[in-house]
Amino acid sequence: MKKKGWKILLTVCSVIYVATLAVVVIALINNQKMIGEWRTIYNFEPDPKSKISPEAQNAALKKKIKSYQPKGVYIMIDSAENKYYLKEGDRILKEGLVSTGSGEILVDPSGKRTWVFDTPKGEFFVKSKIQNPYWVKPDWAFIEEGEPIPRRMEDRVEGGVLGDYALGFGNGYFLHGTLYTRLLGRNVTHGCVRFGDEDLEAVFKASKIGTKIYIY
């Protein structure tokens, strides 16, 4: 009697187990079928009325995309790795470490203004080239130091802190030099991109007004 009870229990368990297994297998098959659609659903049929062959259209599209790429020298800045690349086509002319934005936030004690010290990302171009630049300290520099904001322009000007060259790319952002070369490779700036002296000279000499800058 006891044996029979065990037998029934074992049979019921086996049936439930096999049924579950069957559902899982069917579900897996169904899943594979659905996944298979990822490969086939967007298959396009050639248009018989089209005068251009798909191959020619492919080449034309690639050419059109390439036409948007910069001609000549351009600068790429990787803000995550704090690296720069001076490139021409696919060729890298020079590369090295830079410092980019710290991502910190500063709020004016009056609460009216907020600054986020990020390096802007996207496509830019060199708008100005300056030798022996002077830094005109913006309001945030004084607020950060806890100093009163000067009224006279002369009190804002500081020389020798931006290195020998600066390349402006809009909205007060510059590629410039630094005295803190040991911090190259780290995110420490207020949004500008700091270069080592040698790299800055190479970038300054290679670029002209209009040279493209890609920051990502």
Site for another protein in 154-193 (CB under 8 A): 158-162, 178-183, 186-190, 192
CB of 164 to another protein, least distance (A): 12
Residue 132 in the binding site for another protein (CB under 8 A): no
Nearer to another protein, 150 or 158 (CB): 158
Binding-site member from 9, 57, 132, 136 for another protein (CB under 8 A): 57
Stretch that binds another protein, among 113-121, 148-156, 164-172, 201-209 (CB under 8 A): 113-121
CB of 117 to another protein, least distance (A): 8
Q: Which two tokens stand for residue 90?
A: 């696919």
Binding-site member from 2, 4, 5, 34 for another protein (CB under 8 A): 34
Stretch that binds another protein, among 41-49, 149-157, 164-172, 198-206 (CB under 8 A): 41-49
Q: How, if at all, do strands 165-168 and 174-177 pair?
A: antiparallel
Burial class (CB in 10 A: 0-12, 13-18, 19+), 135: middle
CB of 129 to another protein, least distance (A): 19
Nearer to another protein, 14 or 128 (CB): 14
β-pair partners for 95:
85
Size of the site for another protein (CB under 8 A): 89
CB of 34 to another protein, least distance (A): 7
The secondary structure of residue 103, as a DSSP letter, is: -
CB of 208 to another protein, least distance (A): 19
Kindly write down the DSSP assignment for every residue of 35-91, as one continuous string: HHHHHHTT-----TT-SS-HHHHHHHHHHHHHHTSPPSEEEEEETTTTEEEEEETTE
CB of 199 to another protein, least distance (A): 13
Q: Which residues lie below 8 Å from residue 173, measured CB to CB, with a gap of 6+? A: 119, 120, 124, 191, 192, 193
| Phi, psi of 181, deg, nearest 5 | -65, -20
Q: Which of 120, 119, 107 is nearest to 189 (CA)?
A: 119
